[in-house]
Structure 1
Amino acid sequence: MTSDLEGFLARARGFLHSEPALHTALLSVTEVLRVRGAHAYGDGAPLFGTYAGADGVVRGAFVRTPPHRVVLSPLGPEAADALAARLVDVSPELPGVGAHHAAAEAFARAWERRTGARVSVGVRQRLYRLGTLTPLDAAPAGRARVATAADRALLARWHDEFGEAVGARSAMDGGAWADTRIAYGGVTLWETADGVPVAMAGVTPRVAGQVRVAPVYTPAEQRGRGYGGAVTAAVTRAALDAGVAEVLLFTDLANPTSNGLYQRIGYRAVEDFTQYDFHRGDAAVTATAAP
């Protein structure tokens, strides 16, 4: 374990870059911390760690940005139990875990055994990777454009509304999130023909040749008109035109509409991920959305 981001990346970079899709959350979180500083996700000091075999080869990694869930790479039950044993001492207030399903479940059960906390499933997700981008049959009137500083208030408000819609507090407040994304052109808006923004789609920073589309949001009063699909297709096309090797996105498995939409655009399932929440006594620890 270490609080030194550069030291962590020096040790874990090869491992993380070996499977960019499976490590997408770890890669995007550490890139934001590298660019925006250690407190990009909150006042607490981030904690990083790697897990290596007897040969010294890294086979697992994690990132914790308090007060949010710990984010894990895929790892086996033995490594999950070893990590739980260490984090019990340094992060007893841990609110949950997010990871590839098997790793998340193994860590959640190890935490349950070691702390007596009750664990529950927060969100079940599916990771998709773009195959061949397929234009929608009937795109709505309007156009896509990259959000600028003039859109900051709108982006901050929509970011917070998105968190409310999915029932989770974001890993970053709306204003800070908007500033971070605007700095690298990380949000695309869909505008109607008369210039009114009606939907947005973000992308994470480019790292290890991949980006992840997140979040996609259409205000409730604008839904059902194809704006979400149009802006997702537009931001995906922009990523491809910029030379990105892999374009990824997560979906909530409880939302069949979005899962179906992304598959029609050309995204194909990779693996399932799960976020678990930890509860102490009768009180649930506040869960947060994935970064």
Structure 2
Amino acid sequence: MASSDPYATWQLTPDLEQFLAGAADFLHSDPVTHTVLLTACENLRTQGLAVYGDGVPHFGIRAAGDGVVEGAFVWTPPHRLALSPLADKTAADDLAALLFDAGEKLTGVGTERETSEAFARAWQRHTGASAEVAFHDRLYRLGTLTPPDPAPPGAARVVTEADRELLIRWHREFGEAMGEPRAMVSGTWADTRIAYGGITLWETPDGTPVAMAGRTRRIADQVRVAPVYTPAAHRGRGYAGAATAEVSRAALAEGVSEVLLFADSANATSTALYERLGFRPVRDFAQYDFTH
């Protein structure tokens, strides 16, 4: 049964620094599982609160009676609520009740599968909205990197400002292929990734870009590979695997402890590729969409 007073367990704030002051230790206690929340906070901190759009970001912390943090969320409207896994599923009902009482209109939620399902059901109960699974994804961590052998013809290189228009186009194409709205406007995304060398291209011997693999900023001694994209005309030739392996190799060379990625659980081709490269499953996640 849900607790009678969600206001006593969840504290909400629009202030990123206040949120980080309370949630940082909790997020860093399991940085692999909390990779999405950590990355979102780092982007908001370094790129500004409008990096994900015009909506005002919301943050929240769930604390036990002794003050120990047990959960957290980051919400950047109009995107899905990014929620930490919650051991106590009544916390999901508490949060749904609190956000509903505040008049918020969530478009969805994404987190570890059981927590995501619990929150989606709670949101339905409190709001009458419908909740549908958008997709299931699986979090992977790199064990021993095993690059493709032989690698496809060509070589990898990190993007420069000259690649901006290509990145914008491929970012849009990737979103269309995924059927998912992108978290950032394509131009902002391209500028952000160029600034820290966050995209690696695979080029054929004649210098034609045929695939890209990205990486998030290093935070909590980890990076996450994202996105990985090959235009349709160049698929099936090993370019994505080569680019992913190079991004992973470069991250390991920098000394990071963890290289992570998410893959669509229903895409057998991509999951098989990542497992051949040395990535191993960590946890299943689910993304829900709400319709009011």
Give the alignment's TM-score, normalised by structure 2. 0.95
In the other structure, the counterpart of 1:244 is 256
Tell me which of 71, 94, 98 is aligned to 2:82. Answer: 71
Tell me which of 4, 18, 27 is aligned to 2:29. Answer: 18
Task: For residues 83-117 of structure 1, give each alpha carbon's deviation from its aligned partner in whole angstroms, at most 9, with x where no partner exists.
Answer: 11111133532110000111101100000000111
Say whether residues 1:185 and 2:197 are aligned partners.
yes
Say whether residues 1:39 and 2:50 are aligned partners.
yes
In the other structure, the counterpart of 1:140 is 152
Say whether residues 1:57 and 2:57 are aligned partners.
no
**2:74 partner letter:** V
C-alpha distance in structure 2 between counterparts of 1:195 and 1:10, whole Å:
47
In the other structure, the counterpart of 1:121 is 133
C-alpha distance in structure 2 between counterparts of 1:87 and 1:148, whole Å:
42
C-alpha distance in structure 1 between counterparts of 2:155 and 2:141, whole Å:
24
C-alpha distance in structure 2 between counterparts of 1:87 and 1:154, whole Å:
40
**1:142 partner letter:** G
Tell me which of 113, 117, 123 is aligned to 1:101. Answer: 113
Tell me which of 145, 163, 178 is aligned to 1:166. Answer: 178
Tell me which of 209, 213, 225 is aligned to 1:213. Answer: 225
Unaligned runs of 5+ in 1: 281-291
In the other structure, the counterpart of 1:288 is none
C-alpha distance in structure 1 between counterparts of 2:208 and 2:199, whole Å:
16
Tell me the secondary structure at the aligned position of residue 283 of structure 2.
strand
**1:32 partner letter:** N
In the other structure, the counterpart of 2:247 is 235
**2:240 partner letter:** G
**2:58 partner letter:** L
In the other structure, the counterpart of 1:90 is 102
**1:79 partner letter:** A
**1:196 partner letter:** T
Contact 2:53 2:185 in 1 (8 A): no
**2:64 partner letter:** G
**1:127 partner letter:** L
CA RMSD of aligned residues (A): 0.8
Task: For residues 150-194 of structure 1, give each alpha carbon's deviation from its aligned partner in whole angstroms, at most 9, with x where no partner exists.
Answer: 101101110110000010110111111001111111101001111
Counting matched residue pairs gives: 280
C-alpha distance in structure 2 between counterparts of 1:139 and 1:28, whole Å:
31
In the other structure, the counterpart of 2:6 is none
Tell me which of 202, 206, 214 is aligned to 1:202. Answer: 214
Give the alignment's TM-score, normalised by structure 1. 0.95
The runs of at least 4 aligned residues of structure 1 exceeding 4 Å deviation read none
Out of 43-52 and 88-97, give the one that drifted further. Answer: 88-97
**1:111 partner letter:** W
Say whether residues 1:256 and 2:260 are aligned partners.
no
C-alpha distance in structure 2 between counterparts of 1:217 and 1:91, whole Å:
38
Task: For residues 31-68 of structure 1, give each alpha carbon's deviation from its aligned partner in whole angstroms, at most 9, with x where no partner exists.
Answer: 00000001000111100010010110101000000111
